[in-house]
Structure 1
């Protein structure tokens, strides 16, 4: 030992800044990816809506029914389960990975799985399954974009193309590039590229902007649904009441989070997809017959219906809707249907917010709904940016934003130590009958 201090490690090399020329050149494919991603989402939604009209309007109408009869709901969901089970079992690619095991943005899947995934997503959306299109359509657009660009140029990293496609699809899903920017802030911060964070966000924002503009031109968009009086100036007591609603909503959402692996394991005990997906359809049919049409489908249109007719539902009815929809989400996500969990979480949040407004009349309705959406989305999606953005977007009232930025803090404490609503490798190992001993996995 010489007594001299050890030399400091050499700093990591800093990547060169992103050139303006490169950003401009890459903007063209980013715009193309954005437009194509939005068109793909529109096409899936359009086909699903046409099939939905046949299943829930034309077909029952030919028998003199409305489609809201409990036995019809049970029948349609049961046969939806059978149809999805057959596709997952028999078609090449088997509809890709179980979306219960994938994040919102996942690595590109094989092209051979896309046709079967597309079919089961359309069947689930049209059949009333309580899942949204977000995970599957992001997976489809990402896989297609990566495959097409790889054929045209080997110089563009697949991860970069995948990020553009995912960003574009998120922009199209929510009708604004802001959502994509929030989701990708953490992702692009880790990219090994030079320049500021805005340099790194530039191309994903271009793709997301192109996707969201295309969505609006096609008549879509994730717009405000509530016509309540704007919240206005923040009130100190509202922080307490709003935090109660948001934290209670988050705690309720954690029930789904902890039930998820248990229910997923129970379904997988049947081993064969035709068995467990059909059983899932049967259970969803029973839940739909109990909760009624308002508890079916992905929940976006139903959220608007609930908000526009909120006076028609008392606290007891809202509790029934909450419980039925939560169970429907858990069953749909666990039984092998392909779909996302954000849109159903938003519906649950809207219902929780209306219930909070009914039980706490001193809390303004717009803030109560925003807090309910914040809490449920945070618990199920585990993304604070998405939770805040969706909460503001649903009520269409930017004056609730300062309150939500504070209320999200205690709400985050409720969920931060809880598991995610995701089936991980350890869960899959338990389902396969192998549980590693403590300390045996490094």
Structure 2
């Protein structure tokens, strides 16, 4: 009877998603005074962080231009001679060794570890900035993204009162992440890429993701406004990852989708191989760090000089982060023969791998160049066009180096601009294939502590 009475009573209404306890809790958090204050803090912090980041990138860009353009011209060279990287990288090693061995923070984390890691404490920021301003302009095969993220996170944490961080530990993580996105707002060519990247890397899901995405998106937008405005007002370049000109593209053929699998897998193999070299280099520099870092810097210079010597082209193409070379390659891919592209991948890959485990900078930009070079080199295969080869290389390299296929796909799609509508499916397939292959091949990171 009791059972009958229970079954005859009307069942309680099923709550709609907006009425679910988790959603109600999320709504309460989003509208709470504390969270609204956090959004205001993201804006307040985003402006000064972006200004400092803009100054850092502008200074690095000007130093790079002087080392690789102005100085050779003053000595009577139209372009840097093949031997130019030998003294510049030796100087980089000599200058950066004491920063890595004696300063607090040791110049930040190793690039072979990726972009992640805990936020850099403010007291370590001087070594991070100094190491990057030494290594990047002098030709180390790394990008500016990791130092920028460390700089943004460290400055953001510095701006938050210690007492408040202790009282709400989660605030430190959100503010630090927002600072990172503000600092790299346009270095990837679009503020949305940086925001998606840090969120995908955070590995959060459900309501927690929304709590993090709003301040990050806000800080990224503020950072982009600052970067764009000051870039326009000052005329200073920031070296953002963009492709001003691209080969013509159409709807990919079925054969191009078939080629995307082996080409993307090849890109993943090359990227993981360079990372393995980076881990070996990191183990090599654990002891007698100062001397061995100098030796690694010299080895990077030898690789870059070898590219210039064997190809007769400017060694600058294999040096630095690769942003400028990527733009040139996309604008005129046929200016490089297949042999020159193979040598670019070989020597740039060796220089990048050594740099990953010994010097300081970001790992993403050189990987994108290497992937693009592989894709264009493979575009001579039957049924694979130049534009599709480039698209495959861009997406596959981003997924392999970051381990973030969504971010890699978005970055590649935004880079190809007008070709995006036709190339997006091909790039998504390439990113997934490369991600899976790289995950399968990548070895467990050795213990460096």
TM-score of the pair, normalised by structure 2: 0.82
Aligned partners of 2:334, 2:376: CA distance in 1, in Å?
10
1:341 is aligned to 2:359: no
Alpha-carbon offset, residue 256 of structure 1: 1.2
Conserved? CA contact 1:67–1:73, under 8 Å: no
Residues 108/61 of structure 1: CA separation in 2 closer, same or farther (3 Å cut) = same
What is the number of equivalent residue pairs in this alignment?
Answer: 407
Q: Unpaired segments of 5 or more residues in structure 2?
A: 1-20, 232-237, 308-314
Q: Is the 8 A contact 2:104 2:124 kept in 1?
A: yes
Alignment of 1:220-235 (within 5 A): 220=238, 221-231=240-250, 233-235=251-253
Q: Is residue 345 of structure 2 the alignment partner of residue 322 of structure 1?
A: yes
Shift of 1:287: 1.0
SS in 2 for 1:129: coil
Structure 1 position 203, deviation (Å) = 1.6
Q: Deviations over 1:79-124 (max 9, x none)?
A: 11111112223334432443434x4132122322211221110111
User: Do the aligned residues in 2 keep the contact of 1:222 with 1:393 (CA within 8 Å)?
Assistant: no
How far apart are 1:43 and its partner, in Å?
1.1
Matched, 1:311 2:329: no
The residue number in structure 1 matching 2:430 is 407
Match of 1:356 in 2: 378
Give the equivalent residue in structure 2 for 1:259.
277
Q: In 2, distance between residues paired with 1:199 and 1:112?
A: 28
**Partner Cα separation in structure 2 for residue 47 and residue 200 of structure 1:** 31
What is the CA distance between 1:323 and its match in structure 2?
0.5
For the 8 Å contact 1:173–1:212, the answer to whether it is kept is no
Alignment of 1:125-140 (within 5 A): 125-140=136-151
The correspondence of residues 203-242 of structure 1 with structure 2, limited to 5 A, is 203-219=215-231, 220=238, 221-231=240-250, 233-242=251-260
Cα-to-partner distance string for 1:174-231 (whole Å, 9 max, x where unaligned): 242321342244466637xx85854542221111111223222233543334322133
Cα distance in 1 between the residues matched to 2:71 and 2:433: 48
Q: CA deviation at 1:370?
A: 1.3
Contact 1:142/1:166 (8 A) holds in 2: yes
SS in 2 for 1:79: helix
Counterpart residue number, 2:302: 286
For 1:242 and 1:373, the matched residues in 2 are separated by 12
2:112–2:363 Cα contact (<8 Å) kept: no
- List per-residue Cα deviations over 1:122-180 (Å, max 9, x = no partner): 11111011011111221121112112112584565211111211222343322423213
Structure 2 counterpart of 1:172: 186
8 Å Cα contact 1:105/1:138 also seen in 2 = no
- Out of 127, 132, 135, which is 1:121 matched to? 132
Q: Is the 8 A contact 1:177 1:208 kept in 2?
A: yes
- Structure 1 stretches of 4+ with a deviation exceeding 6 A read none
User: Structure 1 residues 76 and 100, CA, compared in 2 at 3 Å: closer, same or farther?
Assistant: same
Equivalent in the alignment of 1:100:
112
**Alpha-carbon separation, structure 1, partners of 2:244 and 2:434:** 24
Report if aligned partners of 2:243, 2:326 keep a CA contact under 8 Å in 1.
no
What residue number does 2:262 align with?
Answer: 244
Shift of 1:66: 4.2
Of 377, 380, 391, 2:401 maps to 380
The question of whether the paired residues in 1 share the 8 Å contact of 2:49 and 2:155 is answered with no
Structure 1 unpaired stretches of 5+: 1-12, 430-442
- 2:235 corresponds in structure 1 to none
Further displaced range: 376-385 or 337-346: 376-385
Q: Is the 8 A contact 2:396 2:430 kept in 1?
A: no
Change (3 A) 1:171 1:152: farther
Residue in 2 that maps onto 1:392 = 413
What residue in structure 1 maps to residue 292 of structure 2? 276
Give, in whole Å, the separation in 2 of the partners of 1:189 and 1:272: 36
Label 1:53 to 1:411 Cα distance change in 2 as closer, same or farther (>3 A): closer
| Distance of aligned partners of 1:301 and 1:37 in 2 relative to their CA distance in 1, 3 Å threshold | farther
Q: Do the aligned residues in 1 keep the contact of 2:397 with 2:434 (CA within 8 Å)? A: no
Q: SS state of the match for residue 95, structure 1?
A: coil
Q: CA 1:409–1:333 in structure 2 vs 1: closer, same or farther (change >3 Å)?
A: closer
Q: 2 CA distance for matches of 1:117 and 1:187?
A: 21
1:163 to 177, 188, 197: 177
1:10 paired residue number: none
Q: Distance in 2 between matches of 1:237 and 1:166?
A: 41
**Distance (Å, rounded) in 2 between the aligned partners of 1:266 and 1:132:** 22
Displacement, 1:333?
1.3
Distance in 1 separating the partners of 2:129 and 2:435: 35
**Contact kept in structure 1, 2:243 and 2:330, CA below 8 Å:** no
Asked if structure 1 preserves the Cα contact closer than 8 Å seen for 2:201 and 2:404, the reply is no
